[in-house]
Structure 1
Amino acid sequence: MFHRVWRRRLRRNHELDAIRGIAAFVVLLHHAWLAMPRPWHDMAEPSSLWLFLRPAFLLRYTPLGLLVDGPRCVGLFFVLSGYVLAISLSGPRAGGYGRFVVRRLCRIYLPFAAIILVSAMVWGLVPAAGDRVPEASDWLSQGQWSVVPAFAVLLGHLAMIGTPALQSLDPPMWSLVVEMRVSLIFPLLYLVMTRYRAIGIAGVAVLYLLSCGIMSARDEVVPLSFGTSLLLTLDYMPLFVVGILLHQGRERLWHVWRSMPVIHRCVAILSVVGAYIAFQRSMPATEAALMAWAPGIGAHVAIDVTKNIIWQLSVAGGSVAAIMIALHSQRASRWLDLRPFQWLGSISYSLYLVHMPVLMAMVHALHGHMPMPAILAVSIILSLAVATLGFHWIEQPAIALGRHLTRRTMSAPVAVVP
């Protein structure tokens, strides 16, 4: 019975791979959108019907915004990691801690390190790399590739220190720092959530609130030190826990959902969406009330923590819904089985790693010769091509190395690792 369930879970991992691929592509679109110059982001109120079709308006006030919602897709990665890693630890080939860590190092760290080295080499080859690009947004021209990759900087990247200056060669690496750190303690986290769930949830919640509050009190939107970088890791740990809990209670959750009348499901969905929209609309008034109740740093921290909690809840809820639909809906499964989505799923990690170095190289090399939208379109296509090469030349050999180093005589299916 157990092995039949296990094989079914493994067969359904391709849907999760497709979700991961779509999310990685959305992150690519998100960064391409952020690179567009300021006029493209103008949010002034439209004064005519035609102005309602501006990209900034459409991406802010319509569902098209999901196409560039990179931050929530990164949160989805964390929930997916928690879910799939929980599967791997609960399966017949879970193995020991050393085996788990070696595979994670080969799966996550080795491709990351390779792309960091490649990005540093490309930085040296691209003309005027690191200089300001007037045609691009300030986010791209002032914040990315902004530090000369000297030896100490390169070492800081490879050591995953996690501060902005030591992430400039590949800015999305901040999430890989979180992923790698959580991976090192994930078996313990899984054990606690399995045997002492209430204590584990309470402990993670306390650590999350402390980390979020301290970062807010320090007014650090991004970590400026190694210590704050560790706090950022704690800030995202609840999303991994959501993945573990979903793995443990997926069948029960689906049974409860399926047993509800359709009208009750619709009411539940509309209530959640309505509550989220109401919160977003009422946030200015809420901030004013908090400032009056606890002026100064107390209100500032309370507001930031409240916003962060709502954001995490929205990410967790959306991620759980996406995973449940992928695993239980035959219609969704058919769509996710389409070859383009499966291809995106196979190259998702490589795409996440390479797209910013490719984008930065293209912008610095081609600005002044091509319009910025054309440069970004070329960057998107080239990112997909480079990611495909990276998957075959870097990612797959690294995975094979991890399997070779941890090979066991026992023959059993191997869980897909995100």
Structure 2
Amino acid sequence: MGQEARLSRLDELRGLAIGLVVLSHVGPVFGEGGPVAALLFAPAWSVGVDLFFVISGLVVERSLRSLRLERGALEAASAFYVRRVMRIVPLAWCVGAILSIGLIIPGSGVEPADAKAAFAFISNAHWAPCFGGATGCGNAFAFGPFWSVATEMQFYLLAPLLVFLLPRRALVALAGLVLVVGTFTLRPWGGTLWTFRIDAIAVGLAIGATMGTSAWPRLAEHLRVIGNMEAAFWMSIAAFMLAILPPATHGVATAVLALMCGWIVTRATLRDDSVNWPGRMLRRLGGISYALYLIHLPVLALFNWSLGQFLEAPATATLSIAVAIGLSHVLTVAIGDPFRQLGRQWSNRTVREVSP
């Protein structure tokens, strides 16, 4: 089983993760009135972000190892940066430019600092005080989602150093240390330190490091393949538990959540090539998950503002999600995929030039 084939199956989990993230914003956008809205608003559906982080840690570790086998460490790191930048930056800046229109619209609530933080990929530091309860923040329905993109980009800067300089066992030990420290750190859900959590990324790195060792085949023999319904069940349990636990326990809860997501992702890599129709739908959703993550919240907020007085909340929410998915597909095809392919071509040029 090749690495590309194995990791491509994670698109189903990406689809599940983005579904949870979108669900996490339906309640705040459309209000808490009624039992349906309460059900959507109460659980911490943003646990989907942690699932994304674990997948990112795993994919980055395996990608760096693969590049290192083809070229020197400096060339591998350069190729990695080119691919990551071309995959993340053009689409983020395109969406950021569109959202910046709010700067000239009276009453939008969008602040110049919001846009600057998004374009500079420091939105986690910018929004952390706001998520922690500080007043005077901008419109979180516009640039708020950029916080996790900033976390990813900052992780990419350190990833080659961690993977190339640390042995695989040291990466696993580092992940354990991160989890232990996080367990004893007060990190209320949505608070300042919550935006800087690295538990899930560290777990993903550890999984990737373990997959490259001789112990992996023996470990895989004792793991059962996980289905999408089971993965959704466990993520739902995590969302409800985080919603009812007191803030003092969220350090432990976040660390346990990272381990749960790692357990789900590890088992998902064992799937065979057969995919049923729900899996195909999730893969398609996973393929546009980055664009959908960037635009879904402002689209939901815009539809609620413009159509909320004419349509019931369920109809408005359904229509806005459908439009967000359609726009995400267009953005992915028009911008995301071409720039990602261009990044791979540029990063491979060095190898072709030095080949005999």
TM-score tier (shorter): 0.7 to 0.9
**In 2: Cα distance, 1:276 partner to 1:29 partner:** 14
SS for the counterpart of 2:269 is: helix
Shift of 1:33: 2.8
Q: Which residue of 2 aligns with 1:140?
A: none
**In 2: Cα distance, 1:59 partner to 1:281 partner:** 10
Tell me: CA distance 1:374–1:201, structure 2 relative to 1, closer, same or farther (3 Å).
Answer: closer
1:312 to 249, 255, 264: 255
**In 1: Cα distance, 2:272 partner to 2:175 partner:** 33
**In 2: Cα distance, 1:148 partner to 1:167 partner:** 5
Tell me: CA distance 1:281–1:99, structure 2 relative to 1, closer, same or farther (3 Å).
Answer: closer
Q: Which residue of 2 aligns with 1:148?
A: 110
Q: Which residue of 1 aligns with 2:130?
A: none
Equivalent residues in 2 for 1:182-197 (5 A)?
A: 182-190=155-163, 191-192=165-166, 194=168, 196-197=170-171
Give, as a single letter, the amino acid of the residue that structure 1 aligns with 2:15: G
1:204 to 155, 168, 178: 178
Equivalent residues in 2 for 1:100-139 (5 A)?
A: 100-121=80-101, 124=104, 130=108
Q: Which residue of 2 aligns with 1:157?
A: 118
Q: Which residue of 1 aligns with 2:144?
A: 171
Give, as a single letter, the amino acid of the residue that structure 1 aligns with 2:205: I
**In 1: Cα distance, 2:287 partner to 2:11 partner:** 7
Identity of aligned residues (%): 24
SS for the counterpart of 1:328 is: coil
- Tell me whether 1:89 sits opposite 2:64 in the alignment: yes
Maintained 8 Å contact 2:83/2:340:
yes
1:339 to 263, 280, 299: 280
Tell me: CA distance 1:166–1:85, structure 2 relative to 1, closer, same or farther (3 Å).
Answer: farther
**In 1: Cα distance, 2:342 partner to 2:47 partner:** 32
Gaps of 5+ in 1: 42-53, 131-146, 224-230, 262-271, 285-302, 412-418
Shift of 1:203: 5.3
Tell me: CA distance 1:99–1:161, structure 2 relative to 1, closer, same or farther (3 Å).
Answer: same
Tell me: CA distance 1:207–1:106, structure 2 relative to 1, closer, same or farther (3 Å).
Answer: farther
Q: Which residue of 1 aligns with 2:49?
A: 74
User: Deviation string for 1:224-276 (max 9, x for gaps)?
Assistant: xxxxxxx556x422211211211233484673464589xxxxxxxxxx99x99
Q: Which residue of 2 aligns with 1:387?
A: 328
SS for the counterpart of 1:148 is: coil
Q: Which residue of 2 aligns with 1:375?
A: 316
SS for the counterpart of 1:398 is: helix
**In 2: Cα distance, 1:166 partner to 1:330 partner:** 46
Q: Which residue of 2 aligns with 1:20?
A: 14
Tell me: CA distance 1:282–1:34, structure 2 relative to 1, closer, same or farther (3 Å).
Answer: closer
Maintained 8 Å contact 2:299/2:324:
yes
Tell me: CA distance 1:242–1:118, structure 2 relative to 1, closer, same or farther (3 Å).
Answer: same
How many residues align? The count is: 321
TM-score scaled to structure 2, two decimals? Answer: 0.75
**In 2: Cα distance, 1:393 partner to 1:276 partner:** 36
Shift of 1:88: 0.5
Tell me: CA distance 1:383–1:282, structure 2 relative to 1, closer, same or farther (3 Å).
Answer: closer
SS for the counterpart of 1:397 is: helix
**In 2: Cα distance, 1:282 partner to 1:129 partner:** 35
Give, as a single letter, the amino acid of the residue that structure 1 aligns with 2:197: Y
Equivalent residues in 2 for 1:271-310 (5 A)?
A: 304=248, 306-310=249-253
Gaps of 5+ in 2: 128-136, 225-233
**In 2: Cα distance, 1:23 partner to 1:321 partner:** 15
Give, as a single letter, the amino acid of the residue that structure 1 aligns with 2:333: H
Maintained 8 Å contact 2:21/2:47:
no
TM-score scaled to structure 1, two decimals? Answer: 0.65
When structure 1 is superposed on structure 2, of 372-381 and 78-87 the one drifting more is: 372-381
Maintained 8 Å contact 1:350/1:387:
yes
